[in-house]
Structure 1
Amino acid sequence: MVHHYGSSEDWDRLARLTGESSWSWNSIKRYIARHERFVPPADNHNTTGQYIPSLHSTTGVLPKSLPGWSNGIDHRIVATTAELASEFPFNEDITTGNVLGITWLQCAIGGGQRSSSATTYLKNAMGRTNLDVLINATVTKLVRTGMSGGRPCFKAVQFANGPQGASTVVHAAKEVILSAGAIGTPQILQLSGIGDRAELSSNSIETILNLPSVGKNLSEHTLVPNSWLVQGSESLDSLRRDPAAASAALSEWQTNKTGPFTDIGTNMFGFLRLPANASIFETTPDPASGPTAAHWEVLFSNFYASGSAAVPPPDPNGSYITAVAALISPTSRGTVKLASNNPFEAPLIDLGLLASEFDRFVLREAIRALKRFFSASAWTDYIISPVGGLAGNTDAELDAYVRSIATTVFHPVGTASMSPAHVEWGVVDPHLRLKGAEGVRIVDASVFPFVPNAHTAGPTYLLAERAASLIRGY
Structure 2
Amino acid sequence: MFAPASTILSFFSGVGFCKLYEDVADLPNLDYDFVIIGGMSLSLTLKQGGSRRTSPVPVEWSLGHGHPLQLEYISIQDADYTTTPQTGANGHVFDYLRGYLLGGCSSHNGMAYTRGAAEDFDRYANLTGDEGWSWNQILPYFLKNEKWTAPADDHNTTGQFNPAVHGTHGLISVSLSGFSWSEFEQRVIQTTNELPDDFPFNLDMNSGQPLGIAKSGWLQYTIGHGERSSSATGYLTPKIIQRPNLDVLLHAQVSKLVLFRRIHAAQTPIRHAGASLFVAKASKEIILSAGTIGTPQILLNSGIGDRTALEALGILTLLDLPSVGKNASEHAYSGVSWAVNSNQTVESITQNTTRFNEAFAEWNRSRTGPFVDPGPGTHAGWLRLDADSPVFNVHADLSPGPGAPHFEMLFQPFGVGGIPGHFISLTMAMVSPSVVRGSVTLSSNNPFAAPVIDLGLLSSEFDALALTEGIKLALKFASAPAWNGYLGAPTTVIVDNKKFGIFLMYHIVGTAGMSPRGAQYGVVDPDLKVKGIAGLRVIDASVLPIVPGVHTQAATYVVAERGADMVKQKWTL
TM above 0.5, yes or no, is yes
**TM-aligned CA deviation for residue 165 of structure 1:** 1.0
Identity %: 46
The equivalent residue for 2:510 is 414
The equivalent residue for 1:337 is 441
- Give the whole-Å Cα distance in 1 for the aligned partners of 2:273 and 2:202: 51
- Of residues 132, 138, 153 in structure 1, which corresponds to 2:247? 132
The equivalent residue for 2:210 is 99
The equivalent residue for 1:109 is 223
- Give the whole-Å Cα distance in 2 for the aligned partners of 1:12 and 1:6: 11
The equivalent residue for 2:382 is 271
**TM-aligned CA deviation for residue 225 of structure 1:** 3.5
- Of residues 537, 551, 554 in structure 2, which corresponds to 1:458? 554
Q: Which runs of 5+ in 1 are unaligned?
A: 306-310
1:375 aligns with 2:479: yes
The equivalent residue for 2:145 is 35
The equivalent residue for 1:352 is 456
Instruction: Encode CA deviations 1:136-194: one digit per residue, 9 max, x unaligned.
Output: 110011110233xx9x799x9x897x642122221111111001111000100000000
- Any residues of structure 2 matched to 1:256-405 within 5 Å, and which? 256-265=366-375, 266-305=377-416, 311-313=417-419, 316=420, 318-329=421-432, 330-388=434-492, 390=493, 392-393=494-495, 395-396=496-497, 399-401=498-500, 405=501
Q: Which runs of 5+ in 2 are unaligned?
A: 1-110
Question: Which sits farther off after the overlay, 172-181 or 116-125?
Answer: 116-125
**TM-aligned CA deviation for residue 125 of structure 1:** 2.3
Instruction: Encode CA deviations 1:386-412: one digit per residue, 9 max, x unaligned.
Output: 102x2x34x21xx122xxx21211100
3-state SS of paired residue (1:217): coil
CA contact (8 A) 1:217 1:333 kept: yes
- Give the whole-Å Cα distance in 1 for the aligned partners of 2:221 and 2:249: 29
4+ residue runs over 6 A deviation: none
- Give the whole-Å Cα distance in 2 for the aligned partners of 1:366 and 1:53: 31
Instruction: Encode CA deviations 1:110-152: one digit per residue, 9 max, x unaligned.
Output: 00000100111122521222211111110011110233xx9x7
- Give the whole-Å Cα distance in 1 for the aligned partners of 2:387 and 2:306: 39
Opposite residue 202 of structure 1, the aligned amino acid is A
**TM-score, reference length from structure 1:** 0.93
- Any residues of structure 2 matched to 1:66-105 within 5 Å, and which? 66-72=176-182, 73-103=184-214, 104-105=218-219
1:144 aligns with 2:254: no
1:428 aligns with 2:524: yes
Question: Which sits farther off after the overlay, 6-15 or 236-245?
Answer: 236-245
The equivalent residue for 2:353 is 243
Opposite residue 169 of structure 2, the aligned amino acid is T
Instruction: Encode CA deviations 1:335-385: one digit per residue, 9 max, x unaligned.
Output: 111011112111010111011111111111111111110111111021111
- Give the whole-Å Cα distance in 1 for the aligned partners of 2:547 and 2:240: 30
3-state SS of paired residue (1:173): strand
- Give the whole-Å Cα distance in 1 for the aligned partners of 2:523 and 2:257: 15
Pair 1:467–1:34, CA change in 2 (3 A): same
**TM-aligned CA deviation for residue 300 of structure 1:** 0.9
Pair 1:159–1:248, CA change in 2 (3 A): farther
**TM-aligned CA deviation for residue 66 of structure 1:** 0.4
The equivalent residue for 1:442 is 538
CA contact (8 A) 1:81 1:89 kept: yes
Query: Which structure: greater helix fraction?
Result: 1
3-state SS of paired residue (1:464): helix
CA contact (8 A) 2:340 2:422 kept: yes
